[in-house]
Amino acid sequence: MPTLTDTHIQNRFRVQPNHANNNETLHGGNLMKWLDEVGAMSAMRFAGKTCVTAQVNELDFNRPIGIGDTALVEAYVYAAGTSSVRVRIRAWREEPRTGETEQTTESSFTFVAIDETGRPTSVPDLEVDSDSGERLLERALEAEED
């Protein structure tokens, strides 16, 4: 059975001029794509099956990410239903020369596991087996309450 920490994924994306809007910051649509991709990887690692996006919950863009910065995206599964998986997703602006970070975005996405015919299929139960997993779970549940 997969654990919460098994689903924890971090990925980095270098923000290039072709990713930017008129303000020379990362276009929100590009960040949404990266959040969705990393979230899906986390959901699929948990489910062991292809997962598709079903819902994006309150996606807040709190700070911009500039050209030349790195977008650091983190995702992990924190809840599972019959065929659905909830994934907490956060992003930071990272200065690539110093590693300094500043959180810019957070949300939760719901993914549905599908079979070879594209129909919803069952997912396993989520197990939390470590202190770090408990902390991640608490953080996600607290964010849902806000």
State residue 47 phi and psi, 5-degree precision. Answer: -75, -25
**Average confidence (pLDDT) per 10 residues, the chain, 146 residues:** 93 97 96 98 98 95 96 98 97 96 97 98 95 93 86
Q: Give all domains of the chain, ordered by start, each with its CATH number.
A: 5-145 (3.10.129.10)
| Euclidean distance between CA atoms 40 and 117, whole angstroms | 18
Predicted pLDDT of residue 130: 93
Q: What is the pLDDT of residue 146?
A: 75
- Helix, coil or strand: residue 127: strand
57 three-state secondary structure: strand
- pTM of full prediction above 0.75: yes
Helix, strand or coil for residue 74?
Answer: strand
